Chain A
Amino acid sequence: MGPRWGNRIGLCLVGLALVAGGFGLLSAARGRPGAALIGKSVVDASVVDGKPWALPLLAGAAMSLALVATRWLVLALGWGRVGSRTGAGIAMLGVALKGIDGIGRISVRLVRDGRLRVSVSLQRSADLRQVIRRLDESAISRVRRAVGRDDALAVVRLHVRRR
Chain B
Amino acid sequence: MSGKGERLMSVVQGILAGSSARSARGAGSGSGAEGAEGAASAGSGTGAEGAGDGRDAKGGRSGTGGRRSAVRVLRPGRTPAAVVVAAVIALLGWVLTAVVVAVMLGVSPPWRLPPRLLNLTAADPAVPAAAAGMIVCGAGLVALALVPGRPRLVPLGCRDPLLAMGLTRTGLRRTLAASAREVEHVRRADVHILRRRIEVAVVADADTTGALLREVGAAVGDRLAGLGVQSRHEVVVRLRRRGS
- Write the residues of chain A forming the contact surface with B, with a CB cutoff of 8 angstroms: 1-4, 6-12, 14-23, 25-26, 28-29, 31-38, 43, 45, 55-56, 58-59, 62-63, 65-67, 69-70, 72-73, 76-78, 122, 124, 128-129, 132, 135-137, 140-141, 151-162
Complex CA distance for A108 and B105, rounded to whole angstroms: 52
Residue in B83, B131, B164, B170 whose CB lies within 8 Å of A26? B131
* B12 interfacial contact with A, CB 8 Å: no
Complex CA distance for A21 and B141, rounded to whole angstroms: 14
* 24 pairs, CB–CB < 8 Å, chain A vs chain B: A3-B73, A6-B82, A7-B77, A10-B85, A11-B145, A15-B138, A15-B141, A19-B138, A23-B135, A25-B130, A26-B131, A32-B122, A33-B122, A36-B122, A37-B124, A37-B127, A38-B113, A43-B113, A43-B118, A72-B89, A73-B87, A124-B174, A157-B166, A158-B168
Is the Cβ of B93 less than 8 Å from the Cβ of A45? no
Complex CA distance for A136 and B163, rounded to whole angstroms: 8
- Write the residues of chain B forming the contact surface with A, with a CB cutoff of 8 angstroms: 69, 72-75, 77-79, 81-83, 85-87, 89-90, 92-94, 96-97, 100-101, 103-104, 113, 117-124, 127-128, 130-135, 137-146, 153, 156, 158-168, 170-172, 174-175, 178, 226-228
The smallest C-beta distance from B208 to any residue of chain A, in angstroms, reads 27
Is the Cβ of A73 less than 8 Å from the Cβ of B163? no
Complex CA distance for A38 and B121, rounded to whole angstroms: 8
Complex CA distance for A27 and B129, rounded to whole angstroms: 13
Is the Cβ of A15 less than 8 Å from the Cβ of B140? yes
Is the Cβ of A38 less than 8 Å from the Cβ of B120? yes
The smallest C-beta distance from B177 to any residue of chain A, in angstroms, reads 10
Is the Cβ of B145 less than 8 Å from the Cβ of A8? yes
Complex CA distance for A84 and B136, rounded to whole angstroms: 40
Complex CA distance for A39 and B116, rounded to whole angstroms: 13
Q: Which residues of A contact B93 (CB under 8 A)?
A: 62-63, 65-67, 69-70
User: In the complex, what residue of chain A is closest to B70 when comparing beta carbons?
Assistant: A1
Is the Cβ of A156 less than 8 Å from the Cβ of B165? yes
Q: Which residues of B contact A66 (CB under 8 A)?
A: 89-90, 92-94, 96-97
Is the Cβ of A37 less than 8 Å from the Cβ of B120? yes
Is the Cβ of A12 less than 8 Å from the Cβ of B141? yes
Is the Cβ of A36 less than 8 Å from the Cβ of B121? yes
Task: Known contacts A153-B162, A154-B164; decide if A59 and B97 are in contact (CB<8 Å).
Answer: yes
Is the Cβ of B82 less than 8 Å from the Cβ of A69? no
Q: Which residues of A contact B143 (CB under 8 A)?
A: 15
Is the Cβ of B135 less than 8 Å from the Cβ of A19? yes
Is the Cβ of A158 less than 8 Å from the Cβ of B138? no
Task: Known contacts A160-B174, A160-B175; decide if A18 and B141 are in contact (CB<8 Å).
Answer: yes
Residue in B97, B118, B133, B227 whose CB lies within 8 Å of A132? B227
The smallest C-beta distance from B105 to any residue of chain A, in angstroms, reads 10
Q: Which residues of B contact A155 (CB under 8 A)?
A: 73-74, 164-166
Complex CA distance for A73 and B86, rounded to whole angstroms: 5
The smallest C-beta distance from A12 to any residue of chain B, in angstroms, reads 4
The smallest C-beta distance from B24 to any residue of chain A, in angstroms, reads 11
Complex CA distance for A14 and B92, rounded to whole angstroms: 13
Residue in B72, B92, B128, B160 whose CB lies within 8 Å of A136? B160
Complex CA distance for A124 and B133, rounded to whole angstroms: 48
Residue in B124, B144, B167 whose CB lies within 8 Å of A158? B167
